[in-house]
Structure formats: C-alpha cells, structure tokens
Amino acid sequence: MDPENTAESIEFPAIDLPDEVARAEAQRRHGTLIKPARSLGRLEELGAWLAACQGQSPPRPVTHPRVVVFAGDHGIATKGVSAYPTEVTAQLVTAVGNGDAAINALAATAGAGVRVLDLAVDAEQPDPAVAEFKIRRGSGSIDTEDALTEAEVQAALRAGITIADTEVDAGADLLIPADLGIGNSTPSAVLIAALTGAEPVAVIGRGSGIDDTTWMRKAAAVRDALRRARAVYAEPVALLRTAGSADLAAMAGFLAQAAVRRTPVLLDGLAVGAAALLAEELAPGARSWWEAAHRSTEPAHAMVLDHLDLEPIVDLGIGLGEGAGAVTALPLLAMSARLLTEVATHADSGVAGPLGG
C-alpha cells in the first residue's frame, strides 16, 4: 500500500447504536423460557447484545466469525523492552499463516477463520496476500521519534477500514481483531496512559515475561514517549502518529469501521484495547458494538475496560494477545444465541411457569 496515495484525512460517519427494541425483546423472551428468570446471568446479557447488534430477536447463530491478526514491528523494541528479539515477529507471522500458532488451534476449536496481515513487520514478506496492506518496515522508536508520518497513519487507518469492509462483505458476522508484534505492549501502554490519564508506572506490565531490568527500561521508554506525545493527547490521529504504530492504527480503523458496518466485535487484550480507545475517539459510540472477551494480565488492560465501561466475559489469566482471549470467549457468545433460539418457552412446552405472588 502506498501511503502517499492515501494521505487524505479520514472522518468516520456518525455511529448508529444497536437496536434497543431487539435487545428488550430478547430480554423479554428470556423471561418466557423454561428456566428461572435471570438464572443464566451474563449469557442472557450477551444474547440480548447480539440480538441488538443484529436487529432481531431471537438472534441468528454466529456462523462466520473471523480473526484478523494485525502484525507489525516497533522501533522501541530495539531499546531492550521485550524478552524476545524483533525477528520473532516475522517468524510468528509465518507460523500463523501455516496454521501452527496458538491462535490457529484456539480458532479451529471455536469455529473461527484466521487471517494474518503484515502492516509493519521489519522483514520482507514473501506472501503478497499477507503484505497487501503493508505500510512500512517497523515503526519509529517512540521515545525519540514519531512512530509514523502523517501519510502513513492515514494509510494505516484506511487499511483498517478496507480490511473490515472486505471481511463483512465476504460474510463475516462477528469480527475479532488481534495483534502480533514484539514490543507492541510499549506503544499500547503509552496510548492507554495518554487517553486515561494514568501514570507511566501504572500501565507497565511484564509483557512477554520481562525481568526487572527490562521493566525499568520499558518504564523509561513509556515515560519518554508520553513526554513527547503530551501536546497531542486530545488528537487521536496525531497521537497514533506520534506514539502508536501502523498495526495499532490499522486496528483502530478496523474497529471503527466494524461499528459503521453494524458488525459485532469481540475485543482481545492490551494492544487491541489500546486500538479500541483510539477507535472510540475517532468514532464515538463504536464501543456499543463491542464486547470485552477477557481481562488480560496486563495492568493497563483493566484501565481500558474501565474507560470503555466494558465487563470482560472471562478472566483466565491470558496475556498472550494474538486474539487468544477473544477466541476463547467465542463459544460462550454462540451459546448465548442458541439459548434464545433453541430453549422452549413455558407456553410451547407445557412446563409450568413461576407462581404468581
């Protein structure tokens, strides 16, 4: 993708909210099923959310969920903030493409398709399909320089929009954005701190399993990047240009466009959460089309959930990224739809309902 040909500023249209009539009807229907009222807790809420997103109750089963993995390298990784060398990103992209990564095993079990895309991996990509939306090799080291040029950040946002449109047009009825890239927890932490007002030390976790010395380097990098970005905290595109990356910008565009296309999304962990904060800034109301699949082990992810007012579906201590947590929660969403379509009502089954009082 040529950034110079996609430099025009992007504005998202107003976001339509999910259908509250369909949500209310799903909630009412739950009260007629052969079970005590509200006895299935969060599963009932999820089914009602899915009905609202689809605009019908009972909701249709989710039949074509799609995981899209946004891969990229980050210049800050060369400053020693990760437990792994940067060349691992390209190796993992190949593993996902070959079906050998953790996300492939999890997605196959959950019935989701997986697509991996190289937005900014610092290596030559041998597969043209994987490199279709490549913006650049790596992103700038955000402690000392901008991550992207203005043209590159616009190109990345536009790539995310196009990717979302392509998936929805091909029949995807639920989207799962996923991240892949050594060092991506550092720009993610910077973006989250900038948008939530958190102190630098509060957003820094152990990422890939870093030791104390690496953690201190990471803390310094986040501090320096936040200092550089302070003037653009209130400008989401400028913030992505200054302290983000091509993969995070593309994910933000993808998440905003999913809402434009009225398509439900399961959010994964830290990097996707950072992109989600930016997407909500770019397209206010987009978060109503998202559910938080899980709570990551990274401390900054809890700040994302609080800021977006989202409650995670599961909390399994997953810190991987790659969409792992989101795909793990996917079967629960499928269950929530089937409850509304397959469980008999008291009237249809002849099973006595609750006694009046």
pLDDT digits (tens, 9 = 90+) for 276-308: 999 999 999 999 999 999 999 999 999 999 999
Residue 346 domain-assigned?
A: no
Catalytic residues: 322
Q: Report pLDDT digits (tens) over 114-153.
A: 999 999 999 999 999 999 999 999 999 999 999 999 999 9
Q: Using CA atoms, how far apart are residues 134 and 153, in angstroms rounded to an integer?
A: 12
Cα gap 236→75, rounded to integer Å: 20
Residue 357: pLDDT band (50, 70, 90) is very low
Is residue 340 domain-resident?
no
Could you give phi then psi for residue 34, rounded to 5 degrees?
A: -80, 70
Structure tokens, 55: 């605009």
CA atoms within 13 A on the CB side of 236: 24
Q: Percentage helix, strand, coil, to 5, in the chain?
A: 50, 10, 40
pLDDT at position 4 is 60
Number of domains in the chain: 1
Per the domain annotation, does 33 fall within a domain? no
Residue 183 lies in a domain: yes
Tell me if 305 is assigned to some domain: yes
Residue 178 is assigned to a structural domain of this protein: yes
Residue-number span of the structural domain to which 307 is assigned: 64-329
Q: Are 194 and 200 in contact (CB under 8 A)?
A: no
Buried b (16+ CB within 10 A) or exposed e, 62-96: beebbbbbbbbbbbbbbbebbebebebbbebbbbb
For residue 44, being part of any structural domain is answered with no
The model's pLDDT over 89-101, given as tens digits with 9 standing for 90+, comes to 999 999 999 999 9
Q: Using CA atoms, how far apart are residues 105 and 248, in angstroms rounded to an integer?
A: 24
Q: Residue 309 belongs to a domain with what CATH number?
A: 3.40.50.10210
Q: 279 in a domain, yes or no? A: yes
CA dist list (Å): 299 to 157, 195, 199: 27, 15, 12
**How large is the average pLDDT for residues 197-209?**
90
